[in-house]
Structure 1
Amino acid sequence: MDPQDHIGLLSVMPAALAIVLAFVTRNTVFSLAVACFVGVITLGNGLMGFPTLLKETLGTTSFSWILLLELFIGTVIAFFQRTGAIQNFTAWVERRALSRVRVQLVAWVMGMFVFFSDYFSPLFVGSTMRGLTDRYRVSREKLAYIADSTSAPVSVMVPITGWAVFISGLLIGMGPIENAAQAMGVFLHAIPFNLYAWLSVLVVGLVIVGVIPLFGPMREAERRAQEEGKVLRDGAEPLVGEELTEIPPYEGVRTSLFWNFFAPVLVVIGVAVGTFIVMNSAKTMEAFLAASVFLGIVMRLQGIPFSDIMKTSMAGMKGVMPAIIILALAYSLNQLSKDMGTANYIVEVTAGWLTPALLPAMTFLIAAVIAFSTGTSWGTFAIMMPLAVPLAFNFSDDMITPLVYATVAAVAGGGVFGDHCSPLSDTSVLASTGAASDHIDHIKTQIPFALAVALLSLAMYLLLGLTL
């Protein structure tokens, strides 16, 4: 489809339908499936258009990558539970006599520490801290919020992540940016202007310590957890299989907190960061494959039978299947949105708003709408960077100015907003999976905070645009 092509207002119907149905039915799989089916019928592809869409979307390298990544992460988490590593970590933290607030602050810091992967971060933080936060009566919704809002917002601000490489790669050839070094320089200078990402991470900490009071559905969820002891609402459906939440530690084998928990995490970080430095590409999936093999060898040396190790690995893979199914349908809906020109339509109807003073604010707003509608931040970057950044250069006489930095940051922040509060987003799905929270409950409790941060960011971009 040509960058200017779309099918008009109908192009936003599948994404809008998926979002509305998700909130009404509380069933994300059903909502996504219906949206995809309606979309292919609207495009005139007939009844066979739906299975054809699935085959073409899921038979790709990008989906194969996330499928393998999730399977290996599920294996690592299952190994953590079978060796008692998470229980050992929980006991280790409890010996520090932490308060309820400090336990949440540990999750907040952990989310920022695992900066190299927005996929691993929410799964790791949620699954690692879940037992501890349950004991301190922290709702699963709040744990998912903490894990979600410290994943993508942090990853988009760190220059040694795939996010930085992708965004800087899109900038090459725009204005005076001629090579990767110059593009990365622009990315680095844009970091202070990424208001939404900074505020998202900060607000989580302020909410935890009580400087910002709870409001909306999150307040009710926390009241329920503290007063009734219910970390999940009655009737909630946690987005994780029982195979991954009910794995008991292997009896009769003494495990080590270092070898069964910290060492595998160091393997993941070492491989991911090491490959980024050497190959200029963080091999996240390979990092978790290495950690899975490492943990399997350690478990065998500790006396756990090989058959049990393989059974645990299979249980871990089964446990992440609910998330994988949602991701598969979300990928299909994203492809459908591209075929229908959803983003092209949104950009076209808002293009007339863009003036030099309004450029950062309108760029953030349009990127946020696209990301929320499609559930993809990287797709939003690919669409908005070639549209907004050349405009910034045009207004700046083809020079790299603060207006350019602010525009790049606005695209990044708007993409992150949609990425971590859209029910179609992979990161929000993984946050629900890691925290074993009901997915729609997570979205409903997080949106008020994300929206408040987005509105504040929009106001600040308006002031910034007028100043620049």
Structure 2
Amino acid sequence: MEAAEHLGIVSIIPATVAIALAFITRNTVFSLAVACFVGVLFAGQGLMGFPNLLKDSLGTTSFSWIFLLELFIGILIAFFQRTGAIQNFTKIIDRRNLTRVKTQVLSWLLGMFVFFSDYFSPLFVGSTMRNVSDKAKISREKLAYIADSTSAPVSVMIPISGWAVYISGLLIGLGSVSDQSSAINVFVQSIPFNFYAILSVLFVGLLALRFIPEYGPMKEAERRAMEEGKVLRDGAEPLMGEELTNTPPYEGIKTNIFLNFFFPVAIVISIAVGTFMAVQSAKTMEAFLAAVVVLGIIMRIQGIPLQEIMKTATDGVKGIMPAVIILAFAYSLNHLSQQLGTASYIVSITEGWMSASLLPLLTFLIAAVISFSTGTSWGTFAIMIPLSVPMAFHFSGGEISTVVLATIAAVAGGGVFGDHCSPLSDTSILASTGAASDHIDHIRTQLPYALTVACIAAILYLAIGLIFIG
């Protein structure tokens, strides 16, 4: 298992600093900024390394894409608020007098419904269910957990998602996988072995239905919400500006729930899914831009002045900026981790442990550590699939066997673990944003649940290795 160049233990210092400070200070921006600064000093880049890092990592197409996506989502949510769409959606649900359990189950189902984008899913679930959830005295941490656990874990199991296309693309040319068609077929066969993703989604449903009792920090958060009526702890800093949480409907507007809410959402879904089916690439950012433009025109037709529409759009941009700032530093830290060879170092220290029976387990654990340390699942896939899948084919004699399918699924599940619960992950940041939760509170309450699922998944990979492979 050959690893790329790295700087030894120095490679993991920035990520370790970021994660430790995030839990100690509960200030994500400060923690990420310090970690980036410490990292460039350890890398020998000097004081100017910090601004250079920001320029190199943020002046990229990938960051520009998510930056624009965030802006359009912020504007769309602000438009929803200003037209009274979310308030009316809340009233429709309120008429059904949903209990705490039913509110959580509905949030869970909504998250699975928006399967095509792990970016849109947590924001959609959080922003549309937040008022209903608050009324049911469900903590913002719990709502963020539900939104987070039905985003990446669901997307990675859907054969028509961008995740499937990406992972299958990395498989082409490995072993007996010769083209996109065979790669997708292998990916589909590996889905039942993706224990972490499957169990993460099921775990949320069982918690919502109260088959599994709350425990850890989430239990305290839920007690606070139910007994004290505080959906946020005292001193919490919600990862969404007041512009998006306290925007009242425009006076005199007659809200049309279809035109002001369901139609824009349908535009996003149809464009994202339609472009994926047509060109194998979901144009999510373009979908939100189209929805913003159409809803802006509808607002003007409904009598809202152009100046007020533009002010609302500006408020949407302001409200989303806390998340954008954290994403900017998270991208910078990820760029720095690539320069230092963080993932390569983690892989290198496990080289001597590999065997056919332990390959799925170790692959899952390594992918989980890399993704949690870097906050990126797709980056983890790009590193681990070319390293671990050829080994699996070697052990299987070039055949598509249990060791190959379990190893592919282990990479996918391990990568999702970090994307799902790392404080550096963009998906976790978006879940905190949608639920308007304190980001570190979200991570702190979610982590025990994610670790529980990861431990069960690890045991299952060990059992698969010992029973069917070893």
TM-score range (shorter-chain normalised) is over 0.9
Summarize the alignment of residues 98-177 of structure 1 with structure 2, pairs less than 5 Å apart.
Answer: 98-177=98-177
Cα distance in 2 for residues equivalent to 1:211 and 1:352: 41
Which whole-Å deviations, capped at 9, do the CAs of 1:202-242 have from their partners, x for residues lacking one?
00010111111000000000000000000000011111111
Q: Find the aligned partners of 2:402 and 2:296 in 1 and give their Cα distance.
A: 50
CA distance in 1, matches of 2:351, 2:77: 46
For 2:467, the aligned partner's letter is T
Residue type matched to 1:302 in 2?
Answer: Q
Residue identity matched to 1:245: T
* Residue 405 (structure 1) aligns with: 405
Q: Name the amino acid aligned to 1:103.
A: T
1:367-396 superposed Cα distances (whole Å, 9 cap, x missing partner): 000000011000000000001100110001
For residue 363 of structure 1, give the secondary structure of its aligned residue in structure 2: helix
- Listed as ranges, the matches of 1:327-346 within 5 Å are 327-346=327-346
Q: Which AA in structure 1 matches 2:349?
A: V
- On the 8 A contact 2:3/2:348 being kept in 1, the answer is no
Q: What does residue 353 of structure 1 align with?
A: 353
The match for 2:256 is: 256
- 1:313 CA displacement: 0.8
Question: SS where residue 433 of structure 1 aligns?
Answer: helix
Letter of the structure 1 residue corresponding to residue 110 of structure 2: M
Structure 2 Cα separation of the partners of residues 355 and 236 of structure 1: 47
Match of 1:276 in 2: 276
Match runs of 1:8-47 below 5 Å = 8-47=8-47
Give the match for residue 379 of structure 1: 379
What secondary structure is seen at the aligned counterpart in 2 of 1:219?
Answer: helix
- For residue 452 of structure 2, what is the aligned residue in structure 1? 452
* Alignment correspondent of 2:220: 220
Question: What runs of 5+ residues in structure 1 fail to find an aligned partner?
Answer: none
Q: What whole-Å deviation, never above 9, does each CA across 1:270-289 have from its counterpart, x for those lacking one?
A: 00010011111111101101
Q: TM-score, normalised by structure 2?
A: 0.98
Aligned partners of 1:221, 1:383: CA distance in 2, in Å?
Answer: 37
Partner of 2:311: 311
- Partners of 2:467 and 2:271 in 1: CA distance: 43
Hey, what's the Cα distance between the residues in 2 that align with 1:230 and 1:126? 17
Q: How far apart, in 1, do the equivalents of 2:219 and 2:420 lie?
A: 20
Partners of 1:82 and 1:112 in 2: CA distance: 27
**Gaps in structure 2 of 5+ consecutive residues:** none
> 1: distance between equivalents of 2:188 and 2:281?
17
Helix, strand or coil: the match of 2:81? helix
For 1:164 and 1:252, the matched residues in 2 are separated by: 46
Alignment deviations for residues 75-102 of structure 1 (CA, whole Å, 9 cap, x no partner): 1111111111111111001111211110
**How far did residue 246 of structure 1 move?**
1.3
Normalised TM-score (structure 1): 0.99
Give yes or no for the alignment of 1:434 onto 2:434. Answer: yes
Check the 8 A contact 2:3/2:345 in 1, yes or no.
no
Deviation at residue 397 of structure 1 after TM alignment: 0.4
Q: Which structure 1 residue ranges, 4+ long, deviate > 6 Å from structure 2?
A: none
What letter is aligned with 1:461? Y
CA distance in 1, matches of 2:310, 2:161: 32
How big is the shift at 1:4? 2.3
Question: Shift in Å at residue 3 of structure 1?
Answer: 4.6
Cα distance in 2 between the residues matched to 1:351 and 1:183 = 26
Q: CA deviation at 1:403?
A: 1.6
Question: For residues 112-149 of structure 1, what are the alpha-carbon distances to aligned partners after superposition, in whole Å with 9 as ceiling and x for unaligned?
Answer: 00111101111111111111110110000000000000
Q: What does 1:289-328 align with in structure 2 at a 5 Å threshold?
A: 289-328=289-328
- SS of 2:417's partner is helix
What SS class does the counterpart of residue 191 from structure 1 fall into? helix
1:237 counterpart letter in structure 2: E
Give 1:402 shift: 2.1
Distance in 2 (CA, whole Å) between partners of 1:262 and 1:275 is: 20
Partner of 1:282: helix, strand, or coil?
coil
Q: Percent of counterpart pairs with the same letter? A: 69
**Structure 2 residue matching 1:211: 3-state secondary structure:** coil
How many residue pairs align between the two structures? Answer: 467
Report the CA distance between 1:400 and its aligned residue: 1.2
